[in-house]
Structure 1
């Protein structure tokens, strides 16, 4: 074999190795570390708009008020919602005020522009007992709500979300480009 053919063969093998290595690294990252997701619908307006593209961390610890992506309970799709109740928490809504473990929380992220002018509220009163028949969020589950409460199907409608159904936490909006934002 001539020196030129040997050099060309080494170059081709080098490129094939680099491409295969890159594909393996991309697969491992997407499968176990992060994944892109396209937001569908208006349930998280104003935080996310329909067709926003986000990056979801699959290795994040889930905390209250995080935005999580999870396997929808009754559809072959993924939903994004805000974590309101963690295992052991009590959750209730009274006169449009969120109360978790007896503490009232302001919700500046909620879409209040959509409030019903007759009721002047965006979230109906509820307790966990009324929704799931228990006083506290059980171990292995979370309670989620959308930021656009009047247009969100969430734990008020389909109950708790299993921790096993969670794909991960939204960390970064990458599209549209003028709305790129890092979420901490």
Structure 2
């Protein structure tokens, strides 16, 4: 009887440990930092497919989007259902405003998916793209040539995505090249962007960012579904409450189809600060 009692006690203690560990992990993910894996090339060459980072959720305060979505097997509970008590008014607890040029993870206004892009337009701004150059409130964000970005034409990441090339089409295993430029936003923030050639999204109407909303673009300008599309597969204007947090640093990176392929790890990107 004593052995059975001891075994039961051990099971209960193990279960308690697991529950406490899950609660601590949940609190860490909700309040402090959220892990994020880069699945696509929309932010090249700032972020590469296979980069892994932690998003600073303290940067802009907290909203319903700060809560994690629970998706374990048949259980699928959206963050909005968990934390609806802090939603609906486009506001945040302990909120602070993001800065132009921040790299931000946010919830897509329509699909609820997590996206990562660069903040270009603030509330009240006008934003227009002319011949691939961004104009904010009528002021040009100048671009300076900065060489080329090179990658191998091969399938990338778990989704097996192929890169787009300025020198394409090229065969598998060939050098895929994009034009690299340094863009400087009003206020002086500079960052790298890529260009592969003339695209429909290189010329847009003038967008006026509504109050309480933001305008985002990917650094890989010709391969990014972002705020330049107000409908369809685009992002449109993103409400303040949909911001999840700021990306400051790559923690780990792998060029392979799986993180377990250690020979594809990119040590030069470990703990790399983001501009």
Shorter-chain TM-score tier: 0.7 to 0.9
- Maintained 8 Å contact 2:129/2:135: yes
Give me the TM-score of the superposition, normalised by structure 2.
Answer: 0.52
Partner Cα distance (1:139, 1:85) in 2: 11
Matching residue of 2:8: none
Aligned CA RMSD, in angstroms, stands at 2.8
Partner of 2:273: 182
Q: CA deviation at 1:163?
A: 1.4
**TM-score in terms of structure 1 length:** 0.74
Q: Decide whether aligned partners of structure 1 residues 92 and 83 sit closer, same or farther in structure 2, where only a CA change above 3 A counts.
A: same
Q: Deviations over 1:152-174 (max 9, x none)?
A: 10011231111111111111111
Correspondence for 1:169: 246
The aligned counterpart of 2:219 is 147
Equivalent pair of 2:43/2:219 in contact (CA under 8 Å): yes
Label 1:31 to 1:122 Cα distance change in 2 as closer, same or farther (>3 A). Answer: same
Aligned partner of 1:125 in structure 2 is 203
Shift of 1:25: 4.3
Higher fraction of helix = 1
Q: Distance in 2 between matches of 1:171 and 1:71?
A: 18
**What is the DSSP-based 3-state SS (H/G/I as helix, E as strand, rest coil) of the residue aligned with 2:117?**
strand
How many pairs were matched up?
Answer: 162
Deviates more, 1:25-34 or 1:139-148: 25-34
Structure 1 gaps, min length 5: 1-12, 130-135
Partner of 1:111: 194
User: Following the alignment from structure 1 to structure 2, what is the Cα–Cα distance between the partners of residues 111 and 122?
Assistant: 15
Q: Deviations over 1:89-145 (max 9, x none)?
A: 111122322111232223141113x2x2xx4x795122334xxxxxx3112110001
Alignment equivalent of 1:70, drawn from 85, 103, 106 = 106
